[in-house]
Amino acid sequence: MPLTGSSSLDPSDPPLVSAPRSMLLADVVHDRVRRAIIDGQYPDGARLPGENDLARQFDVSRPVIRAALKRLRGEGLVISRQGSGSYVAAPGEPKSLAFQPVETIADLQRCYEFRLTIEPAAAALAATRHSEGQLAEIAKFLGFLRDATQRRSHREDADFGFHLAITSASNNQYFETSMRALKDHIAVGMKFHGLSLQSVRGGLDHVLDEHNAIFDAIRTGQAEAARETMLSHVTGSRDRLFEGRLLDLSAR
């Protein structure tokens, strides 16, 4: 969906006028510009077209464009430079959402509980919404995991990248932003989980199979299979880490 030059919207995109009444035009513009950034049509540091150019391309008013750009700035995807325009932000983690650090085993268990609510849903959406670029990003991290498994090791960075890429492919920024904010928390669990896999015969291969199953479900557009395979994977990760002995988190 090119946004540069005089090109119009991709014909595969629904017309703005067909959006549900509850969806503001700014939401539609935001989603399409955001998708172009994530797909790499605008590299890090690239200047976006000016407000007038974007307004003409989307056939909307400048206030609509400003509202969409404001949301992108709030998500950390776009920055504004006085007198110069809007640019794709350089690499860095969004700071709009943060959680307290993991300090106890109970915190780690709660992190898994939260992941179990968002990641299966994100995987299901990714199965039906992903672009080819987003699918390639998931496949890239799966390749890193496969290489690590062949070396009988586990890469926490590739593991997290795989899961983050799936939330990105859901094309719902709330899933992705939550995952980015949880990066350090998830890394704790993935580190200990990776160590435990290396001490169990066939553990690394089994988890790679789980990742492959998630990817295949997303690649083939099977939303419910993506949901179930992700649910099974994250649940299995938690249970392997806690060895089936979950804490009682009831208020005392």
Domain span at residue 212 reads 105-242
Among 88, 118, 143, the domain boundary falls at 88
36-68: pLDDT as tens digits: 888 788 888 899 999 999 999 988 898 889 888
CB 169 within 8 A of CB 131: yes
* Residue 113 shares a structural domain with residue 238: yes
233 and 124 in a single domain? The answer is yes
Note whether 123 and 79 are same-domain residues. no
The CATH number covering residue 192 comes to 1.20.120.530
Same domain flag for 67 and 111: no
* Triad 78, 167, 49: Cα angle to 5°: 25
User: What does pTM read for this prediction?
Assistant: 0.63
Residues 132 and 221 in one domain: yes
What is 122-153 written as a DSSP string?
A: HHHHHHHH--HHHHHHHHHHHHHHHHHHHTT-
Answer whether residue 7 is part of any domain.
Answer: no
Whether residue 63 lies inside any domain: the answer is yes
The count of structural domains within the chain is 2
Q: Give the pLDDT of residue 191.
A: 79
Task: Note the pLDDT tens digit of each residue in 89-109.
Answer: 876 534 445 566 666 888 888
Instruction: For residue 31, count other CB atoms closer than 10 A to its CB.
Output: 18
Is residue 95 in some structural domain?
no
Q: Which two tokens stand for residue 68?
A: 């969409």
The last residue of one of the domains, among 60, 88, 116, is 88
CATH number at residue 22: 1.10.10.10
Round the CA-based radius of gyration of the chain to a whole number and report it: 20
As a whole number, mean pLDDT of residues 4-31 equals 51
Sole residue written with tokens 């056939």: 59
The model's pLDDT over 147-189, given as tens digits with 9 standing for 90+, comes to 999 998 888 889 999 999 999 999 998 898 888 888 888 888 7
Task: Count the residues in the chain.
Answer: 252
CA 56, chain centre distance (Å) = 30
